[in-house]
């Protein structure tokens, strides 16, 4: 089993990233059988699709590394690195550009969402972003890729690219990866709008809970989260038409391990004035230790760089046979 996943180091690690992906990364790392390996990386090469000042980008990469370690990624057990330190990602992405089809990329909903109405003004990098993502996965022969729901389409494309490459060049080079998407927390929604996912790029910081937020900020974001004036029903199924309420109950359940039905039953007949303070307490208590570990690590540039460098060396070595195989299959000498 080869587990691999990545996160863009733009902005903070938020509750959507944590419940949708990172918590599963840690679980898979902790349950890893011997002979299996986990690779987790900061998709800093992907992050160039968002404009950022140099100093800010450097800071973002280190801070996201600190946040992942604080959330439970252990660099001694998992290979933790940043993509830019492993040039094999960019090299394989270029080779795969010969295989991926424009029609396939045109169907990517994330590109449509991010490019918005001004498609002509979007960067080429944003358009070919999923090809680099395919390279990230295929380079390591990953079998399992733990991600949130929004990455499902990119992984389907990864499989299509792998199949076409293997077929076109008559090789059995790339392994087809399986996405691992959590059932209940595949899509955590914004605290301000139950129809939009919680996201780093939402201009309102009130829409998300960052793993770096202090206790008061968390409590205030939960208190001000959009909800509705109705009372909670006996069962979760009765929340079907109430997206904000559903999201808050879902987060509550994900944080405590209690079922969504049990939470509804506990608060049935009461409004969000009762549920919100309890949810705030749960979030504050569970996120505090992560934040404390993050605070202790985030300014230690020397230690963080050493971890990422060491991870990059291991990743480069693991990527080399596949990269060599890809050049060879295409008929390019290096």
With CB atoms as reference, the residue minimizing the distance to ligand TYM is: 20
Angle of helix 215-224 versus helix 272-297 axis, rounded to 10: 150
Q: Is-catalytic flag, 114? A: yes
Number of neighbours of residue 247 by Cβ within 10 angstroms: 24
Any contact of residue 49 with ligand TYM (CB under 6 A)? no
Would you call 129 exposed, middle or buried from its count of C-beta atoms within 10 A (0-12, 13-18, 19+)? buried
Any contact of residue 280 with ligand TYM (CB under 6 A)? no
Any contact of residue 247 with ligand TYM (CB under 6 A)? no
Helices (H) and strands (E) in the chain, counts: 13, 5
Supply the minimum distance, in Å, between the C-beta of residue 133 and ligand TYM.
4
Among 59, 164, 200, 310, the one annotated catalytic: 200
Report d(CA 270, CA 287) in Å as an integer: 26
Contact 131, 106 (CB under 8 A): no
Among 197, 226, 276, 291, binds ligand TYM (CB under 6 A): 197
Q: Is-catalytic flag, 221? A: no
Among 29, 82, 151, 210, binds ligand TYM (CB under 6 A): 151
Supply the minimum distance, in Å, between the C-beta of residue 184 and ligand TYM.
10
Residue with tokens 């424009």: 102
Question: In this structure, what token pair is assigned to residue 110?
Answer: 């994330």
Q: 5 has which bridge partners?
A: 40
Size, binding site for ligand TYM by CB under 6 A: 24
Among 44, 63, 136, 244, binds ligand TYM (CB under 6 A): 136
Report d(CA 286, CA 148) in Å as an integer: 21
Q: Specify the residue, 34 or 195, whose C-beta has the smaller distance to ligand TYM.
A: 195
Per-residue string for binding with ligand TYM, 95-134, x by CB under 6 A? --------------------------------------x-
**Residue range at the interface with ligand TYM (CB under 6 A); choices 12-20, 160-168, 216-224, 291-299:** 12-20
Q: Specify the residue, 5 or 227, whose C-beta has the smaller distance to ligand TYM.
A: 5
**Residue range at the interface with ligand TYM (CB under 6 A); choices 1-9, 32-40, 268-276, 314-322:** 1-9
Report d(CA 189, CA 185) in Å as an integer: 10
Report d(CA 154, CA 176) in Å as an integer: 13
Largest Cα–Cα separation, the chain:
70
Report d(CA 59, CA 291) in Å as an integer: 17
Q: Is-catalytic flag, 200? A: yes
Contact 272, 256 (CB under 8 A): no
Q: Specify the residue, 6 or 233, whose C-beta has the smaller distance to ligand TYM.
A: 6
Catalytic residues: 114, 197, 200
Residues at the contact surface with ligand TYM, assessed by CB under 6 A: 5-8, 16-17, 20-21, 43, 46, 133, 136-137, 145, 147-148, 150-151, 186-188, 197-199
């Amino acid at each position: 089993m080869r587990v691999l996943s990545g996160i863009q180091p733009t902005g903070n690690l938020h509750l959507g990233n944590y419940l949708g992906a990172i918590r599963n990364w840690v679980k898979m790392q902790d349950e890893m059988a011997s002979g299996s390996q986990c690779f987790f990386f900061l998709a800093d090469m992907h992050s160039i699709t968002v404009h950022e000042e140099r100093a800010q980008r450097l800071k973002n990469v280190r801070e996201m590394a600190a946040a992942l370690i604080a959330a439970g990624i252990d660099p001694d057990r998992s290979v933790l690195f940043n993509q830019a330190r492993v040039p094999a990602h960019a090299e394989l992405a270029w080779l795969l550009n010969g295989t991926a089809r424009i029609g396939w990329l045109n169907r990517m909903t994330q590109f449509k969402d991010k490019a918005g109405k001004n498609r002509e003004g979007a960067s080429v990098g944003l358009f070919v972003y999923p090809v680099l993502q395919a390279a990230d996965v295929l380079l390591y022969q990953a079998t399992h890729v733990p991600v949130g729901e929004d990455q499902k389409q990119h992984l389907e494309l990864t499989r299509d690219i792998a199949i076409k490459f293997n077929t076109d060049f008559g090789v059995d080079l790339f392994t087809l990866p399986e996405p691992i998407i959590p059932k209940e927390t595949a899509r955590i929604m914004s605290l301000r709008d139950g129809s939009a996912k919680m996201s780093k790029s939402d201009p309102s910081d009130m829409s998300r809970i960052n793993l770096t937020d202090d206790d008061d900020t968390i409590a205030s974001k939960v208190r001000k989260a959009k909800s509705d004036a109705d009372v909670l029903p006996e069962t979760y199924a009765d929340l079907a038409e109430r997206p904000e309420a559903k999201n808050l109950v879902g987060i509550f359940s994900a944080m405590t391990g209690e079922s969504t039905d049990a939470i509804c039953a506990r608060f049935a007949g009461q409004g969000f004035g009762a549920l919100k303070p309890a949810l705030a307490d749960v979030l504050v208590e569970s996120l505090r230790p992560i934040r404390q570990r993050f605070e202790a690590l985030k300014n230690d540039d020397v230690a963080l760089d050493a971890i990422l460098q060491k991870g990059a060396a291991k990743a480069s070595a693991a990527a080399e046979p596949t990269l060599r195989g890809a050049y060879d299959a295409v008929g390019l000498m290096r």
